[in-house]
Structure formats: C-alpha cells, structure tokens
Amino acid sequence: MRDRGEETLESKLKFLARRIRSLREERGLSLTELADKAGISKSTLSLIESGKANPTISTIWAIADALGVSFGSLIDVEDVIEEGGVSVRLAERISGAEIYIMRFRPESVRKARPHTKGVKEHVFVVEGSILVGPVESPKLVRRWETYEFEGDVPHIYVSLDSPSLAVVVVDYGVRG
C-alpha cells in the first residue's frame, strides 16, 4: 500500500510531465531540441516527461527558460521542490509575477541561471540572513529586510550559519 507522500509525489510528477510535454509539443520542439535548449540530457528530459524523474529546482528552471515560460507555470501551487538544502514552494501567481516561499538549511547555496531580460526579483527575509543577488555583487539581507535585483544575470542565494526563510517575488514585467 502506498502512503500519502508517495501519491502526492506521483501526482506532482505526472502534472509536471504533462505540462512540459504539452508546452514542448505546442512549440513544435522535439525532445532533443528542448533538452539542448535547456542544457540537460535527452534521457533526463524523457524521464521527466514520463513522470519517472523528480527534477531539481535548477532543472525545472532550465526547462522553463528553454520553453519561454515561468517556473510556476510548470508546477502546481503548493508543490515543494527541493535541491541541496533549499526548498521552493510556489505560493501564488499574480498578474505578471509569482510569489515563492524559499526555505534554506544553514550554509545552503542556490545558484540560478539568468532569467529573461527585464525580470526582477524581490526578496523579503523573514528568518535568518541570506547573501543574495547577482553573483558579482550579492548583498547580505537580514531578517525583516528586503532587496530587489535584476534577475537577468547569474544570481545566488546563500544561507549563512542558521536556517533562513524568504518570500521571493519574481516579477516578469508583464501586466495584464
């Protein structure tokens, strides 16, 4: 008998698989073409599209960028995606933006590839301290502080010596 966690993971992976396949087909891309654009292997993409792989935050972002969609458009609200001590949960989609809850274990690092031109990230630290922003010039953001930066450059999130929690708004600059 499966427990609820397995059923939840399975349904999350099936949702992601259907969404990626649908968007890939809408764009007329083959598995190979999308894998190349995302910088991942064709076999990895095939496993994801068949619901047999649990991709990392970085892999989902890479696929989203390659498809020209937001991270949140590939996952369901309330899904939690984890990678290397960092968890991301899509909390809300609003006009032209997405709101995420990010949790960090002590000394965890999230390296992010650039988003499309014009994307801004707004970070509000609720607990702990996070070194965040462009790789070349990150800023230390402490509890109750906010920081905004251009997300179209390589950027990082680094939790220091204690657990951290942040609310992150990714503003795609689209109004509607």
CATH topology of domain 80-171: Jelly Rolls (2.60.120)
What one-character-per-residue DSSP string does 33-67 give? HHHHHHTS-HHHHHHHHTT-----HHHHHHHHHHH
Using CA atoms, how far apart are residues 8 and 16, in angstroms rounded to an integer?
Answer: 12
Residue 136 burial (10 A CB sphere; 0-12, 13-18, 19+): exposed
**How far is residue 115's CA from residue 70's CA, in Å, rounded to a whole number?**
9
pLDDT in single tens digits along all 176 residues of the chain: 344 455 588 888 999 999 999 999 999 999 999 999 999 999 999 999 999 999 999 999 999 999 999 999 999 877 889 999 999 999 999 888 999 999 999 999 999 999 889 999 999 999 999 999 999 999 999 999 999 999 999 999 999 999 999 999 999 986 44
Q: What pTM value is reported for the model?
A: 0.86
Per this entry, what is the length of the chain?
176
CATH fold of 4-73? 434 Repressor (Amino-terminal Domain) (1.10.260)
- Three-class SS of residue 5? helix
Write down the domain spans for the chain.
Answer: 4-73, 80-171
